[in-house]
Amino acid sequence: MKVRDFGKNNIFLPDATKGAIKFLTTQQLKSTGIQGIVVNTLHLLINLGVDKLEALQGIKNIMNWNGYVVRDSGGFQVYSLIHSGKWKGKIHKNGVTFKAPVDGKQYDLTPEASIDIQLAIGADVLVCLDDCRFTDISKKEAKISVDRTLRWAVRCKEHFEKRKVDYPQKLLSCVVQGAGYLDLREECTKQLVDMDFDGYNFGGYVIDGGGNLVVNELETVVQYLPKDKFRYVMGAGKPEDIRKCVNMGYTVFDTVLTTRNARHGSLYSFDEENYLLKITNAKYAYDQNPLDSTCDCEACVNYSRAYINYLLKIKEPTGYTLATIHNLRFYQRFVEGL
Active site residue 72: yes
290: left (phi over 0), alpha (psi -120 to 50) or beta: beta
Within 106-255, residue ranges assigned H as helices are 111-121, 139-163, 182-195, 215-222, 239-248
**C-beta atoms surrounding 112 within 10 Å:** 19
97 Cβ neighbours under 8 A, 6+ residues apart: 89, 90, 106, 107, 108, 109
- Active-site hit among 72, 131, 198, 241: 72
254 labelled catalytic: yes
What's phi and psi for 303, nearest 5 deg? -135, 160
* Cα–Cα distance measured from residue 290 to residue 49, given in angstroms and rounded to the nearest whole number: 43
Q: Which of 124, 198, 254, 292 is catalytic?
A: 254
- Intra-chain end-to-end CA distance of the chain, in Å: 20
Q: Give the three-class secondary structure for 224.
A: coil
Q: Which residues are catalytic?
A: 72, 254
